[in-house]
């Protein structure tokens, strides 16, 4: 069983803070009647929908997308149930979960049940990011278009990036129960950029 946990990309999809210039534009540039085939182009922000951030997104002179080995994106992961959190995920919300060194953690929150952009989306607060860094995790995913909001200087992003933790944003985890899965999180292979939209799927973990 394959679970597709990617957001659908369309012109009217949710985008960060509902900014018009972050909405993807899709144009049919060749049309069957005239050109004998249909062919479209897309103009989109690289942080559209389900996507992977590269450190360069938040750290000047940081590493770009190709610094993330594909083997680190094709691996087991753990989905945590944080749907009880109202506002932000802190250290105390995470304590008590089974989190180990080198884990790739996906945070399932109420965000997965919301189709429109919510300015008050649940995010990973600085203390949560510090806790996960101390645990030595390898990657983190969240079901919001950002892993943080309302924190000066993007502290959560920076703590994670400085600890070589991969960040996936914009997941859709509504139908996924907490537990262990095998994940394929595949961004486009774009040279020298700050991130890329990705298709992310989970498989039941073979025990």
Interacting stretch for a second copy, rule CB under 8 A, among 3-11, 86-94, 97-105, 113-121?
3-11
Choose which of 83, 117, 163, 201 interacts with a second copy (CB under 8 A): 201
Please give the Cα distance from 137 to 163 (Å, whole number).
9
- State the Cα–Cα distance between residues 166 and 171, nearest whole angstrom: 14
By CB under 8 A, name the one of 135, 154, 164, 178 that touches a second copy: 154
H or E element in which residue 130 lies: helix 126-135
Q: Partners of 53 in the beta sheet?
A: 167, 195
Q: Is 187 in the site for a second copy (CB under 8 A)?
A: yes
Q: Does 192 bind a second copy (CB under 8 A)?
A: yes
For the bound state, the minimum distance from the C-beta of residue 58 to a second copy, rounded and expressed in Å, comes to 5
Tokens of 186: 């595949």
Residues 193/65, Cβ–Cβ less than 8 Å: yes
Question: Which of 30, 95 has the CB closer to a second copy?
Answer: 30
Site residues for a second copy, window 37-76 (CB under 8 A)? 37-47, 49-50, 56-58, 60, 70-71, 74
Q: Which is nearer to a second copy, 46 or 168 (CB)?
A: 46
How far, in Å, CA of 140 to CA of 99, rounded?
11
Provide the 3-class DSSP secondary structure of residue 121.
coil
Binding of residue 141 to a second copy (CB under 8 A): no
CB of 124 to a second copy, least distance (A): 17
């Amino acid at each position: 069983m394959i679970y597709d946990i990617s957001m659908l990309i369309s012109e009217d999809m949710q985008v960060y803070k509902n900014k018009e210039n972050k909405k993807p534009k899709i144009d049919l540039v060749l049309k069957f009647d005239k050109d004998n085939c249909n062919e479209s182009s897309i103009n989109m922000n690289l942080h559209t929908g389900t996507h992977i951030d590269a450190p360069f997104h938040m750290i000047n002179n940081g590493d770009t997308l190709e610094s993330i080995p594909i083997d680190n994106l094709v691996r087991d992961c753990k989905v945590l149930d944080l749907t009880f959190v109202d506002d932000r995920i802190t250290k105390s919300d995470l304590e008590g979960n089974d989190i180990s060194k080198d884990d790739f953690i996906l945070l399932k929150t109420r965000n997965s049940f919301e189709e429109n952009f919510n300015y008050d989306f649940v995010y990973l607060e600085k203390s949560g990011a510090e806790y996960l860094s101390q645990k030595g995790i390898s990657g983190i995913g969240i079901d919001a278009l950002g892993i943080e909001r309302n924190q000066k200087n993007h502290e959560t992003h920076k703590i994670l990036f400085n600890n070589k933790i991969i960040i996936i944003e914009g997941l859709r985890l509504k139908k996924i129960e907490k537990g262990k899965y095998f994940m394929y999180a595949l961004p486009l292979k774009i040279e020298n950029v700050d991130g890329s939209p990705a298709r992310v799927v989970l498989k039941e973990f073979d025990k």
